[in-house]
Amino acid sequence: MKSGTVAIIGRPNVGKSTLLNALLGEKIAIISDTPQTTRTRILGVLHREDAQIVLLDTPGLHKPEYQLNRRMVRTALGTMEGADLLYVMVEGTAAPGAGDRFVIQRVREAAGSGECPAFLLINKVDLVSKPRLLPLIASYSQMLRWTEVVPLSAKTGLNVDRLVDLTVAVLPEGDALYGEDVITDQPMRTLAAELIREKILQKTREEIPYAVAVEIDRFQEEGRLARIAASVLVEKESQKAIVIGKHGDRLKAIGTYARIEMEQLFGMKVFLELWVKVRPSWREDEQALTALGY
Residues of this chain that interact with ligand GTP (CB under 6 A) are 10, 12-18, 31-33, 35-38, 59-60, 123-124, 126-127, 153-155
Nearer to Mg ion, 40 or 239 (CB): 40
Closest contact distance (angstroms) between CB of 292 and ligand GTP is 16
Nearer to ligand GTP, 154 or 163 (CB): 154
18 makes contact, choosing from ligand GTP, Mg ion, none, with CB < 5 to 8 Å by partner type, with: ligand GTP
Nearer to ligand GTP, 36 or 204 (CB): 36
162 contacts: CB under 8 Å, gap ≥ 6: 150, 152
Stretch of residues binding Mg ion (CB under 5 A), selected from 16-24, 104-112, 159-167, 212-220: 16-24
Nearer to ligand GTP, 2 or 60 (CB): 60
229 contacts: CB under 8 Å, gap ≥ 6: 216, 217, 218, 272, 273, 274, 275
Closest contact distance (angstroms) between CB of 203 and Mg ion is 18
The footprint of Mg ion on residues 17-76 (CB under 5 A) is 17, 37-38
Nearer to ligand GTP, 4 or 15 (CB): 15
Task: State how far the Cα of 201 lies from the Cα of 292, in Å rounded to an integer.
Answer: 17
196 makes contact, choosing from Mg ion, ligand GTP, none, with CB < 5 to 8 Å by partner type, with: none
Closest contact distance (angstroms) between CB of 189 and ligand GTP is 20
**Residue closest to ligand GTP when measured from CB atoms:** 60
245 makes contact, choosing from Mg ion, ligand GTP, none, with CB < 5 to 8 Å by partner type, with: none
Q: What is the 3-state secondary structure (H, E, C) of the chain?
A: CEEEEEEEEECCCCCHHHHHHHHHCCCCCCCCCCCCCCCCCEEEEEECCCEEEEEEECCCCCCCCCHHHHHHHHHHHHHHCCCCEEEEEEECCCCCCHHHHHHHHHHHHHHHHHCCCEEEEEECHHHCCHHHHHHHHHHHHCCCCCCEEEECCCCCCCCHHHHHHHHHHHCCECCCCCCCCCCECCCHHHHHHHHHHHHHHHHCCCCHHHHCEEEEEEEEEECCEEEEEEEEEECCHHHHHHHHCHHHHHHHHHHHHHHHHHHHHHCCEEEEEEEEEECCCHHHCHHHHHHCCC
Contact 262, 215 (CB under 8 A): no
154 makes contact, choosing from ligand GTP, Mg ion, none, with CB < 5 to 8 Å by partner type, with: ligand GTP
Nearer to Mg ion, 39 or 250 (CB): 39
The footprint of Mg ion on residues 107-166 (CB under 5 A) is none
12 makes contact, choosing from Mg ion, ligand GTP, none, with CB < 5 to 8 Å by partner type, with: ligand GTP
Nearer to Mg ion, 121 or 228 (CB): 121
Closest contact distance (angstroms) between CB of 129 and ligand GTP is 14
Binding site for Mg ion (CB under 5 A): 16-17, 37-38
